[in-house]
Amino acid sequence: MTDPSSGRAAPSGVPDLGELLSQVARGDRDAFEQVYERLCGPVYGTALRVVRDPAQAEEVAQEVLVEVWRKASHYRPDRGSATAWALTMAHRRAIDRVRSAQAGRVREERAGVPDPDYDVVAEQVGTRLEHQQVRRCLRGLTPTQRESITLAYYGGYTYREVSELLGVGLAAVKTRMRDGLIRLRDCLGVQS
């Protein structure tokens, strides 16, 4: 028997995560213990890869597992595996944590540093031109390359998550992204 939530063979008699989540949605604490045991490591690992700080990753993992408890009824098996559902929450929560920390640092820097002397208009024009060039180069990619790169870099998804979202193999996603990034680099004239 294969556990559709993880793609691995589930020991006989052990419910898959999807079944356990439906029990958790009904308030079953024992089912949540099993969900917790099966997801705590992967959720922590996902958070740690993004935030790169063990203490922050622990906080993110705790928040996500509480969210799994509270929102178990929101899980939809037809939209993906239970593991992917939880890891997507972990990835998004970790990205939010990083962005929040960055925004705090930027606020602190702005508060402590006087305005620099430079031509704001010239910088804005330069930035706008760079953005236009990136958009033009993105249009030069194949649709599959553009979709994979957009999901990864603008959507914040990992290779594996992009693979699951697009329904293609992980190797295919990596190849698309590598080839697309090489084409972007060449189009933008970036020296490697």
Cα distance between residue 51 and residue 49, in whole Å: 6
What angle (nearest 5°) sits at the alpha carbon of residue 67, between those of residues 82 and 56?
105
66/79 Cα distance (integer angstroms): 21
Which pTM was predicted? 0.53
Distance of alpha carbon 183 from alpha carbon 190, whole angstroms: 10
Per-residue pLDDT of the chain (192 residues; tens, 9 = 90+): 344 444 444 556 778 999 999 999 999 999 999 999 999 999 999 999 999 999 999 999 999 999 999 999 999 999 999 999 999 999 999 999 999 999 988 888 887 766 666 677 778 877 888 888 888 988 999 999 999 988 888 888 899 999 998 999 999 999 999 999 999 888 888 776
Bridge partner list, 24: none
